[in-house]
Amino acid sequence: MALRTIFTEEDPILRKTCRPVDEVTDRIRMILDDMVDTMRDAQGVGLAAPQVGIMRRMFVAEPEPEEVYYFVNPEIIAEEGEVEGEEACLSVPELMGNVVRPAKITIRGLGRDGKEQEYTFEGFHARVMCHENDHLNGILYSDKAEKLFRPAEQEEEEAE
């Protein structure tokens, strides 16, 4: 497996809408595996295909260690409630922001094996899935954040 370059916010590729994946092939599985390795190497909890320059509707997420989810052609089919929380992104380095997201979602898509899957997530897991799904539509969390800040600045404000 290979580590891939993570594109950052100034790259226009991150503002484009991804195309569906026609079929989960060995090549798609290899890309998904590379994405997991790249995400882990960068110490992230999710990574969408456009972040590594691939304009296809797929992402990987690992909201808890060794709890990896693969989504190909994902679709959020239900949302409940709202909750505000801090987010960061491998494509927007060194910044964080407060974003309102659904408290609970149901998401459907194909897994790494090409079979349909459906999950319901709450809390942090739901936030991660929504964040990654937004990437597939050319949306960055920074577009939705009320305020962006550097984590060190936030710590200084809280200490005062």
Q: Which residues are catalytic?
A: 132
Element containing residue 128 per DSSP (H, E): helix 123-135
| Residue of 142, 147, 63, 159 whose CA lies nearest to 105 | 63
Q: Is the distance from CB of 48 to CB of 59 less than 8 angstroms?
A: yes
Picking from 24, 18, 121, 37, the residue whose alpha carbon sits closest to that of residue 79 is: 121
Q: Are 30 and 54 in contact (CB under 8 A)?
A: no
Judged on CB neighbours under 10 Å (0-12, 13-18, 19+), 138 is middle
Q: What one-letter code names the amino acid at 131?
A: H
